[in-house]
Structures are given as C-alpha cells and as structure tokens.
C-alpha cells in the first residue's frame, strides 16, 4: 500500500492536526469495496461506530475521535483542512480509496456523483461527534484532541500500527 501523508496547517476556524491526514489510493479492491464488507472490515480491525453515507457539504471536524473514510460508491471531490487558499487540499476520491483523518482535520464535500458514498468508523472509545468549523474555540478543540491516543490498529488491514506508523514519530507520548 502506498500511503501519502498530507500535512494541513490550522486555519482561523479549523484546528487540523500535528499528525498528517493519510491518503491510501486503491487501498481496497473495487470488488471488496462494498458498504457492508468495508464496515465489517473496519470492525474486524477494532474500529467501531461504522456507517455508510456521504461527506457533509459543510466544513466540520471531530474532537472526540479520529476517523477513517473509504469510498464505496461513486466519485467525489472532498476538501480536507480548509479552503485551498488556507492551505487545504481537495482530493479526488473513487471506489477503494481510503482516507484516515486525525481528529481536528476539517473536511467537506465539494462535488460528487449522485451515488457517492463512504463507509466510516472510529477507534475504540472514540466517536465522530461533529463540530462545525468556527463553532468551537480552537484552544479548547486542541486540548480535547490532544487527549486522544493513536489507534492501536490500522483500519485497512488490522496491522499494529500499520499505516498509522506515520503518526508514531509525531507524538510518541500519545502512541
């Protein structure tokens, strides 16, 4: 698996993270990238709170959990980290692509095919409670995010730490 770590600077309304977003293009074969199968894969690798839906069309982030998103249908242009002029990135996602977002990384759907869907999940004990960009004091958001540990297992293949090794050197005290 080829992993692209993407660093995203904080913006005026989104804390983002010291850990990079991890993009894994084609992480799941198209044949295996079916909603129920991907949700089960995440659960088998210790991730919880699985769901399948789209990505909301407004900037939001999570302070109570890291998140994995796997494209299971259609195609979409999804923004991460904020608007491009703020240092954010817009990524083209297609079936089988996986994005692992550390808590605090903003995301928003810009465009998508009518059948665009992602399967998502969170590490054990963490949740995907939504915080809209600009609705929380950034110092408070950073404090809450700093309390979260790195997940033990890679949601894609269950390895420990697997692709999450890209986060290990950043904050060894949280690993």
Question: Which tens digits make up the pLDDT trace of 128-166?
Answer: 999 999 999 999 999 999 999 999 999 999 999 999 999
- b/e for 134-150, b at 16 or more Cβ within 10 A? eebebeebbebbeebeb
**pLDDT at 136 (0 to 100):** 98
pLDDT band at 1 (very low <50, low <70, confident <90, very high): confident
What does the mean pLDDT of the chain come to?
Answer: 95
Cis? peptide before 27, omega within 30° of 0 = no
> What length is written for the chain?
175
**pLDDT at 168 (0 to 100):** 74
pLDDT band at 169 (very low <50, low <70, confident <90, very high): low
DSSP per position, 22-83: EEETT-S-TTT--HHHHHHHHHHTT-EEEEEE---SS-EE-SS--EEEEEEESEEEEEESS-
Among the listed residues 154, 170, 112, 168, the one whose alpha carbon sits nearest the alpha carbon of residue 24: 154
| CATH number belonging to the domain at 4-135+147-166, selected among 3.30.9.10, 3.40.1500.10, 3.40.50.2300, 2.60.120.10 | 2.60.120.10
Question: Which tens digits make up the pLDDT trace of 57-91?
Answer: 999 999 999 999 999 999 999 999 999 999 999 99
Question: Which tens digits make up the pLDDT trace of 109-126?
Answer: 999 999 999 999 999 999
**pLDDT at 14 (0 to 100):** 98
Q: Is pLDDT of 172 > 70?
A: no
Cα 57 to Cα 71: distance, rounded to the nearest angstrom:
16
Dihedral through CA 134, CA 88, CA 66, CA 171, nearest 10?
Answer: -110
Residue 165, C-beta contacts closer than 8 angstroms, at least 6 positions apart: none
pLDDT band at 175 (very low <50, low <70, confident <90, very high): very low
Q: Is pLDDT of 33 > 50?
A: yes
**pLDDT at 142 (0 to 100):** 97
C-alpha to C-alpha distances, 146 to 14, 59, 82, 86, 139, nearest whole angstrom: 15, 21, 20, 23, 10
């Amino acid at each position: 698996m080829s992993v692209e770590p993407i660093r995203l600077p904080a913006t005026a309304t989104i804390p983002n993270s010291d850990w990079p977003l991890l993009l894994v293009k084609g992480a799941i074969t198209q044949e295996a990238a079916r909603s129920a199968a991907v949700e089960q894969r995440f659960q088998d690798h210790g991730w919880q709170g699985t769901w399948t839906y789209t990505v909301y069309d407004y900037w939001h982030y999570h302070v109570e959990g890291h998140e994995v998103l796997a494209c299971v249908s259609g195609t979409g242009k999804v923004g991460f980290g904020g608007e491009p002029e703020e240092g954010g990135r817009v990524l083209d996602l297609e079936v089988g692509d996986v994005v692992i977002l550390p808590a605090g990384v903003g995301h928003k759907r810009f465009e998508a095919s009518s059948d665009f869907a992602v399967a998502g999940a969170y590490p054990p004990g963490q949740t995907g409670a939504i915080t809209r960009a600009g609705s929380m004091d950034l110092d408070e958001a950073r404090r809450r995010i700093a309390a979260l540990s790195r997940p033990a297992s890679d949601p894609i293949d269950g390895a420990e730490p697997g692709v999450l090794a890209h986060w290990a050197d950043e904050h060894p005290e949280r690993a």
